[in-house]
A = this chain, B = another copy of it.
Amino acid sequence: MEAKPVTAGLVVIGNEILSGRTRDANTQFIGAELNDLGIRLAEVRVVADVCGAIVGAVEALRKEYDYVFVTGGLGPTHDDITARSIAKAFAVELVCDPEAHARLERHYGSERFNAARQRMAYIPEGAALIDNPVSAAPGFRIENVFVMAGIPRIMQAMFASVRHRLSGGAPLLSRTIGTDLGEGTLAAELGRVQEAFPDIQIGSYPSMGSGRSGVRIVLRSVSEDRLGAAVEAVRAMAARLGGQAEELDITG
């Protein structure tokens, strides 16, 4: 049996995502990275640029999961309220971090380092900086909460700098079988495979729009051996039902 998995939650802050103007890319990146680290992203909440909404989501997720990641709202403008909201969620003050201040001043030069940019040096008391190799303004970590920029390129650089601090369990391995059988045709038999392999996560995803219909069956487990046995059971099932079964080279 699998040990209790290490879990994470993600809070994506952004009116632009909720209005449909921007399509979130951070969930996919963080989900895949955590998966590689053996950490299961269990829940994502997308919330508006509103202090109460951010506080509520962070408070709920940090109690529920081992790690919480937060993206967005770290810039210098009036709508960047993440640092303040996280401080509120932890009931601490927002304080100027001397190291962050020095990095930002070096990055902008003292003339361009105005009051708005100085705001980006403020982090919740007790938080540790997360490096931003792209544009200097740091993220921060407080307890189990990692706060990063919303812009994907900067977020990804920040994630790379904290990756080594994250302790996961065994990574969840996956294998994917593509079949030309309809989902309803294989459903009963696939349910029996799932019953025979309760330790394997088996998902079924109809592939539509790609010309002919069919199903991708995704199997996940921390055990390569058990995964192999379940894949064989799926192949045997497809053969019994008169369908094709082809392993697809898809990771994640």
Binding site for B on A (CB under 8 A): 15-25, 27-35, 40-49, 53, 75-80, 108, 112, 114-117, 119-120, 134-135, 151, 153-154, 172, 174, 182-188, 190-191, 194, 201-206, 208-209, 218, 220, 250, 252
Are A194 and B17 in contact, CB atoms less than 8 angstroms apart? Answer: no
Are A18 and B47 in contact, CB atoms less than 8 angstroms apart? Answer: no
Using CB atoms, name the residue of chain B closest to A172. B19
Measured CA separation A75–B217 after assembly (Å): 13
Are A78 and B202 in contact, CB atoms less than 8 angstroms apart? Answer: yes
Nearest 10 interchain pairs by C-beta: A20-B32, A116-B187, A20-B31, A117-B184, A44-B46, A77-B204, A78-B191, A76-B187, A21-B252, A76-B184
Are B41 and A30 in contact, CB atoms less than 8 angstroms apart? Answer: no
Measured CA separation A52–B21 after assembly (Å): 31
Min CB distance A24 to B, Å, is: 7
Please give, as numbers and ranges, the residues of chain B lying within 8 Å of A203 by CB-CB distance.
15-16, 49, 79
Min CB distance A58 to B, Å, is: 13
Are A206 and B27 in contact, CB atoms less than 8 angstroms apart? Answer: no
Are A108 and B184 in contact, CB atoms less than 8 angstroms apart? Answer: yes
Per assembly, the copies of the chain total 2
Identify A44's interface contact among B18, B154, B191, CB under 8 A.
B18
Are A79 and B202 in contact, CB atoms less than 8 angstroms apart? Answer: yes
Please give, as numbers and ranges, the residues of chain B lying within 8 Å of A218 by CB-CB distance.
16, 21
Are A43 and B45 in contact, CB atoms less than 8 angstroms apart? Answer: yes
Are A46 and B48 in contact, CB atoms less than 8 angstroms apart? Answer: no
Contact of A114 with B185 at beta-carbon distance under 8 Å, contacts A29-B20, A41-B19, A79-B202 already known: yes
Q: Interface centre among A41, A46, A252, by most B CB within 10 Å?
A: A46
Measured CA separation A114–B189 after assembly (Å): 12
Identify A153's interface contact among B23, B42, B208, B252, CB under 8 A.
B208
Please give, as numbers and ranges, the residues of chain B lying within 8 Å of A252 by CB-CB distance.
19-21
Please give, as numbers and ranges, the residues of chain B lying within 8 Å of A183 by CB-CB distance.
75-77, 116
Please give, as numbers and ranges, the residues of chain B lying within 8 Å of A47 by CB-CB distance.
42-43
Please give, as numbers and ranges, the residues of chain B lying within 8 Å of A22 by CB-CB distance.
28
Measured CA separation A17–B218 after assembly (Å): 13
Are B20 and A185 in contact, CB atoms less than 8 angstroms apart? Answer: no
Are B31 and A17 in contact, CB atoms less than 8 angstroms apart? Answer: yes
Please give, as numbers and ranges, the residues of chain B lying within 8 Å of A21 by CB-CB distance.
31-32, 174, 218, 250, 252
